[in-house]
């Protein structure tokens, strides 16, 4: 299998449309991660069903977050997306997040060409407030049933803040 990170780049960050690879479908309790060394998707663990992902979850190729992994993305769609596909996605914001003391931000995106919804979602403000609450609750509590680990959503940022996080992650990738 080819390495996504060698073939795909982050996309047009300045233009607001990036490439995202799906790791975990919305509603799944399987923690699937990209294994960069083996260039495959790997089941890392099975979480309690209570903490199934509230959105599709993936990563942006050729980026590294401060935790040393590819920069994460929360992909907002009406239905789950399968593991391993990539999509062009429009940036709508960022969820600033700390996991066990390490920055682990999540870029929030929607499909770039989502014609059936009329591309109604342009920013985080266009998302239902209940969805934002569900996402925040999930990430603040998904480690509660484990013996160790703390997580905290620190704040939600706009598109410009999200682009800055992506650019910093691209720089880290280039300097690795």
- CATH superfamily of the domain spanning 4-175: Inorganic pyrophosphatase (3.90.80.10)
125 is in an annotated binding site: no
- Residues 11-43 have pLDDT tens digits of 999 999 999 999 999 999 999 999 989 999 999
Q: Is 31 annotated as a binding residue?
A: yes
Q: Does 45 appear as a known binding residue?
A: yes
Three-class SS string for 66-103? Answer: CCCCCEEEEECCCCCCCCCCEEEEEEEEEEEEEECCEE
Q: Could you tell me which residues come within 8 angstroms of residue 43 by beta carbon, excluding any fewer than 6 positions away? A: 30, 31, 32
Q: pTM, whole model, 2 decimals?
A: 0.94
Question: Residue 118: which pLDDT band, with cuts at 50, 70 and 90?
Answer: low
Hunting for tokens 């999540």 — which residue is that?
Answer: 106
- Any idea which of 94-98, 100-104, 105-109 has the lowest mean pLDDT? 100-104
pLDDT at 80: 97
Q: What is the mean pLDDT of residues 119-136?
A: 93
9 annotated as a binding-site residue: no
Q: How far is CA 142 from the centre of its chain?
A: 15
- Assign residue 16 a region (left: φ > 0; alpha: ψ between -120 and 50; beta: otherwise): left
How far is the C-alpha of 18 from the C-alpha of 87, rounded, in Å? 8
Whether 142 has a binding-site annotation, put simply, is yes
Q: Kindly report, residue by residue over 44-84, the tens digit of the pLDDT.
A: 999 889 889 999 999 999 999 998 999 999 999 999 999 99
55 SS3 class: coil
Other Cβ atoms less than 10 A from the Cβ of 45: the count is: 9
Average pLDDT, the chain: 92
Neighbours of 7 (CB within 10 A): 11
């Amino acid at each position: 299998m080819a390495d996504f990170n060698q073939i795909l780049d982050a996309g047009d960050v300045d233009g607001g449309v990036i490439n995202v690879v799906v790791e975990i479908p919305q509603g799944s309790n399987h923690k699937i991660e990209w294994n960069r060394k083996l260039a495959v998707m790997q089941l890392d663990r099975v979480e309690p069903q209570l903490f199934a992902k509230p959105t599709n979850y993936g990563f942006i190729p050729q980026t590294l977050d401060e935790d040393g992994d590819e920069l994460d993305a929360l992909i907002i769609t009406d239905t789950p997306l399968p593991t391993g596909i990539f999509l062009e996605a429009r940036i709508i914001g960022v969820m600033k997040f700390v996991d066990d003391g390490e920055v682990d931000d999540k870029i929030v995106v929607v499909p770039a060409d989502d014609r059936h919804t009329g591309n109604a979602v342009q920013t985080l403000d266009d998302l239902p407030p209940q969805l934002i609450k569900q996402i925040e609750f999930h990430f603040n509590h998904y480690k509660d049933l484990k013996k160790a680990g703390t997580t905290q959503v620190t704040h939600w940022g706009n598109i410009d803040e999200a682009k800055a996080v992506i650019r910093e992650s691209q720089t880290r990738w280039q300097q690795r």
